[in-house]
Amino acid sequence: MRTLLYSLVLLAFWLLLSGHFNNPLLVGLGLGSVLLTVFLAKRMNILDHESFPIQLSPKLPRFSLYLLKEISLSNLDVLRRILSLRKNPISPRVQTLPLPHKTDLGRVLYANAITLTPGTVTLELQGDNIIVHALSKESAASLATGQMAAAIPEVPAYANPAKGSPA
Amino acid sequence: MTILDLLSWLCLTLGGLVGVIGAFGLLRFPDFYSRQHAAGTTDTLCAMLILLGLGLQAGLSLAAFKLAAILLFLIITSPVATHALANAARQSGLKALTSDDTSDDNSGSKP
């Protein structure tokens, strides 16, 4: 199931990137390269719920919209601070926040969402905590409300036991 | 000049402006970690606006799909690179500049 879907996605990607729809030789070669890629991915055993997370797809559109809104708002905030005439427009700080997600994928998504919004950068994951550098008191506070953590799509079926200290 | 052209140029100009402001912040902010936030605006909002502007120029075509793919890969890869840099700085012992005192009395005046 996953393999079939992966092949279809790759094929669609190849077709859309190349734009060759009616030259049998080129389409055949594209098909060949897709099959080779799928074969190699199967052989290397890297085609799983982490590399190709189809279980998340129903929740992705809503999450993308949320992320887009957060990115825009925090961008405006950082731009305002850059252009601010005050002597000290920023109040940088390092904060440790709880990491409520059980799956590795959920943790990665959360950490990357934090880094993707300007004003906050993930420094380190430590067990069940996440260490974050924030540009200002306000951005740190808005992160501490846990609103973003709650918005991360997570499918508990793939939950694995939380690791002691993922490097 | 159609309305689409106008929107596209608006996006491109705003994107360029955000990039310049981000570069300005890179010079203005005091330490490595806070500079990363300024650089972060250039690889999110700036890139998004410029790609959107180009996409409006391209119309509904294969080029627009490629631009969308670029945006997707940028959004997946850039936080990884930013985190790798920040984590490397932390691992090698770079202390983040923190200022709780100076900002507290200022921020009350402006939300």
Tell me: the pLDDT tens digits for B60-91?
888 899 999 999 999 989 999 999 999 999 98
Residue B43 buriedness (CB in 10 A; 0-12 / 13-18 / 19+): buried
Whether A95 maps to a domain, the answer reads: yes
The whole-number average pLDDT for the span A45-60 is 82
For residues A139 and A100, state if they share a domain. yes
pLDDT of residue B100: 58
Order of strands across the sheet that contains A93-98:
A93-98, A129-134, A120-126
- Domain annotation covers residue A164: no
Range(s) of the domain holding residue A26 = 2-44
pLDDT number for residue A55: 79
Q: Is the pLDDT of residue A151 over 80?
A: yes
Q: Judge whether residue B109 has pLDDT over 80.
A: no
Q: What is the pLDDT of residue A156?
A: 65
Query: Do residues A75 and A144 both lie within one domain?
Result: yes
pLDDT at A149: 84
Contact assignment for A121 to B37 by CB distance below 8 Å: yes
In a domain, A30, yes or no: yes
Specify whether A72 is located in the same domain as A154: yes
Q: What is the mean pLDDT of chain B?
A: 85
Same domain, A115 and A138: yes
The dihedral region occupied by B37, where left means phi > 0, alpha psi between -120 and 50, and beta the remainder, is alpha
Regarding whether A76 and A149 lie in a shared domain, the answer is: yes
Each residue of A107-134: b (16+ CB within 10 Å) or e?
bbbbbbbbbbbbbbbbbbbeeeebbbbb
Give backbone dihedrals phi and psi of A156, rounded to 5 degrees, phi first.
Answer: -70, -10
Residues A77 and A144 in one domain: yes
pLDDT classification of A157: cutoffs 50, 70, 90: low
Handedness of CA B3, B5, B6, B10 (dihedral sign): positive
CB < 8 Å to B73, chain A:
none
Asked if residue A146 belongs to a domain, the reply is yes
Within a domain: A167:
no
Whether residue A107 is found in the same domain as residue A139: yes
Q: Is the pLDDT of residue B32 over 70?
A: yes
Express each pLDDT in A74-125 by its tens digit: 999 999 999 988 878 888 888 888 888 888 888 888 999 999 988 899 998 8
Check A118 against B28: CB less than 8 A apart. Answer: no
Rounded CA-CA distance A115/A122 in Å is: 6
For residues A9 and A78, state if they share a domain.
no
Per-residue pLDDT at B67: 92
Residue B60 phi/psi, 5-degree rounding, is -85, 85
Q: A167 to chain B nearest CA, in Å? A: 10
- Tell me: pLDDT of B111 over 60: no
Judge if A62 and A88 occupy the same domain: yes
Facing residue for B45 by CB, picked from A72, A83, A88: A72
Please judge whether B62 and A83 are an interchain contact, meaning their C-beta atoms are less than 8 angstroms apart: no
A66 and A39 belong to one structural domain = no
Considering the domain boundaries, does residue A102 fall inside one? yes
Q: How confident is the model over A127-133, as a mean pLDDT?
A: 89
Q: How confident is the model at residue A159 (pLDDT cuts 50, 70, 90)?
A: very low
Domain match, A38 and A72 both: no
- Please report the ipTM that was assigned to this predicted complex: 0.79
One domain, residues A149 and A90: yes
- B51: chain A residues, CB-CB within 8 Å: none
CA distance B45 to A69: 11
Q: How many domains does chain A have?
A: 2
> Could you tell me if residue A165 is inside a domain?
no
Q: How close, in Å, is residue B12 to chain A by CA atoms?
A: 16
Backbone angles phi, psi at A52, to 5 degrees: -140, 75
Distances A160 to A102, A150, B25 between C-alpha atoms, Å? 7, 19, 41
Q: How many Cβ atoms sit within 10 Å of the Cβ of residue A26?
A: 14
Average of pLDDT values for A63-83? 91
Amino acid at B63: A
Is B21–A82 a contact, with Cβ atoms under 8 angstroms apart? yes
Q: What is the pLDDT of residue A84?
A: 86
